[in-house]
A = this chain, B = another copy of it.
Amino acid sequence: MGYNNFLYLLNDALEKNHLELALASVKTFRAADVADLLMQLPLENSKNLLIHLPDRVDVFSFLPPEYQAELAKIIPRNILAEIIGEMSSDKRVDVYKRLDTNQQNALLPALAQAEREDIRQLASYVEGTAGAIMSSEYATLKSNMTVSEAITMLRREAPDTETIYFAYVLNDERKLLGVISLKELILAAEEQSIGSIMTTDILFAKVDDDQDEVAKIIARYDLLALPIVDQYGIMIGIVTYDDAMDVASEEATEDFLKVGAVNGSSRFSLKTAPLFQLYKKRVYWLVILVFGSLLSGIGIAHYEDIIAEHIVLVFFLPLLVGSGGNAGSQSSTLMVRALATGDVQFKDWFYLLGRETLVALGLGVTMAVAVSLLGFYRGDELVALVLALSMTGIVLLGCLIGMSLPFILNKLGLDPASASAPLVTSICDAMGVLVYLFIASLILF
């Protein structure tokens, strides 16, 4: 039975109120897989199945935030409060933030006071910062405890923490003194004090640090979790490795789309996003890039006479300006990704520009040889010379523009990833037209 047939039968069972049958049919599925199934059902049926699932909190947690918000609108308030109350603190605040004010106000009184305050607190952090992705549920210990007391305490705290594999040692003002792993606890003698075996040289991040930076620290030092402190050094949360993986994937998607000249955040689905949203994400750059193309047009208009006289030049126009744009896109793509992964820093720019010049000359000469043979075949040796010189110059210029644009954008306070392939192509095209026709006018007149 294929997946679509299964979906059909499941939906049919829900339509006919055969709830037992529907529940039985998804019994062996994992929470992440049931979440995928739900998203393919009509919203009403999806809700009916969800609220009767024994692991509904897990399943709900695996749904994307937009879909959670959709469901939250139609789930009975007391059930929604139960589900949200049991979710991990970082995930439930994501749902909360997507509800409108009326829904938020209806939900809050149904929650326990501690959860209510926790949600209000976490919701106050700015999107994109460590605070917005951290969890407030972590295990804490005191430095004067013994190892066996600590293990007993972790056992008691386990249901309310995201992880017990790391515990944070705090003083009475909740300042971070040290960190200890469950592995270290298991390996230590029972009567040793936590203070004597904890690690005091701790990595941490501030609550308003960029989420991307937090994800990079977790990946760089292979951490399971990173503690987050406020401006007074008081511990207020942790970011776990799985959240860091999600952030890294989102940031990669965002850069990826930017390089393709698609605007805005990565938190949307190509399959389900409203069409107008997709339109908006794209029309902005398409219109801006018109100006780049107009520059090319103006260049061409300026050399109209030369073109009219040597119409063969038009035949090679797409090839020359295209190659400059292609080489430039390659350069900017390499640079944007190297900056994003931390392979290069902005201070390396000058050094990289030197290397790029050598690579670009190699590429330019290769292309020049190829194109001048073609030029000789379709024109004469003068045309071949124009083509060879233009191609070398255009590829070199394209590479230098592609390599520099991310740096210039950064200096202007913009995201270097905005140096998209289409933007670089447009700029290189305009420069290419000018270089080509200028060289042609020198040699052919």
Contact = CB atoms under 8 A, between A and B. Distances in A.
A297 B282 contact: no
Interface stretch (A105-113, A122-130, A229-237, A331-339): A331-339
Interface centre among A221, A245, A287, A429 (most CB of B within 10 A): A245
A249 interface: yes
Interface string A335-371: 1111001011000100110010011001100110011
B256 A318 contact: no
Contacts of A260: 259, 329-330, 332-334, 421
B279 A330 contact: no
B282 A330 contact: yes
A389 interface: no
Nearest to A288: B326
Prevailing SS type, chain A contact patch = helix
A5 interface: no
A16 interface: no
A404 interface: no
A14 B270 CA distance: 55
A409 B334 CA distance: 23
A249 B337 CA distance: 11
Interface stretch (A42-50, A92-100, A179-187): A179-187
Given A296-B318, A318-B297, A186 B155 contact: yes
Given A359-B278, A429-B322, A367 B287 contact: yes
Interface centre among A332, A338, A395 (most CB of B within 10 A): A338
Contacts of A382: none
A158 interface: yes
B282 A341 contact: no
A156 B168 CA distance: 25
Interface stretch (A18-26, A70-78, A140-148, A308-316): A308-316
Given A155-B187, A164-B183, A363-B282, A333 B289 contact: no
A443 to B, nearest CB: 20
Contacts of A151: 186
A282 B359 contact: yes
A314 B304 contact: yes
A253 B158 contact: no
A222 interface: yes
Contact of A158 (B165, B186, B287, B344): B186
A323 interface: yes
A249 B244 CA distance: 12
Interface in A26-57: 28, 30, 32
A282 B363 CA distance: 8
Given A275-B359, A279-B363, A220 B32 contact: yes
A319 interface: yes
18 contacts: A252-B252, A253-B337, A256-B333, A257-B334, A261-B330, A270-B338, A271-B351, A278-B355, A283-B363, A286-B366, A286-B367, A290-B367, A296-B322, A300-B314, A304-B311, A325-B425, A326-B426, A425-B425
Interface of A: 28, 30, 32, 151, 154-155, 158, 164-165, 182-183, 186-187, 201, 203, 219-222, 224, 241-242, 244-246, 248-249, 252-253, 255-257, 259-262, 269-271, 275-276, 278-279, 282-283, 285-287, 289-290, 292-294, 296-298, 300-301, 304, 307-308, 311, 314-319, 321-323, 325-327, 329-330, 332-338, 341, 343-344, 348, 351-352, 355, 358-359, 362-363, 366-367, 370-371, 374, 395, 421-422, 425-426, 429-430, 433
Given A155-B187, A285-B330, A287-B370, 5 more contacts: A164-B186, A182-B183, A253-B337, A270-B334, A270-B335
